[in-house]
Amino acid sequence: MTLKSALQDLRESTLAAVSGLLAKLAYLGSLRTGEGGYRHWGLSMVHGEESSQRALKTAHTEVLSTVLRTPIAELAEDLRESSRDSDKSEEAYVEGMRAQFGELLPSAQDRASARHLNSVLVALSSLKKNQKRATPSTS
């Protein structure tokens, strides 16, 4: 029997190990199933399927909310941190997030958050493309 709730366990163990807010959002999105639920074997084994599903949806909603409240300048810095552990450039990382857009949303019915997140990802993508063009080549 565990002393932590599934949500507390998820926050303090799994999500604490993921660097960057955008990376946390991408990670939670990657756990989505085609049916709209989540799959996280370890969390389900320890806390049960129902508690695990609730914790994952709650955490996903919280992380999305935080992303949507974060100023774009801070998200641009976060993108650097979030993409660092991947094998992708910042530009490729944000494009990958745009490609998995549907998974990034805890609820497909939340159209306002979907529009807001889409505009955030488009802005980040544009910033990175413009920075790339504005940076002189060192070769």
**What's the pLDDT tens digit per position in 61-78?**
999 999 999 999 999 999
Given a cut of 70, whether residue 2 has pLDDT beyond it is: no
Average pLDDT, the chain: 91
Q: What is the pLDDT of residues 72-106, one digit of tens each?
A: 999 999 999 999 988 899 999 999 999 999 999 99
**Sorting pLDDT into bands at 50, 70 and 90, what band is 108?**
confident
CA 83 to chain centroid, in Å, comes to 11
Whole-number Cα distances in Å, 128 to 30, 116, 120? 23, 19, 12
Q: Parse the chain into domains and list their residue ranges.
A: 6-134
What's residue 87's pLDDT? Answer: 85
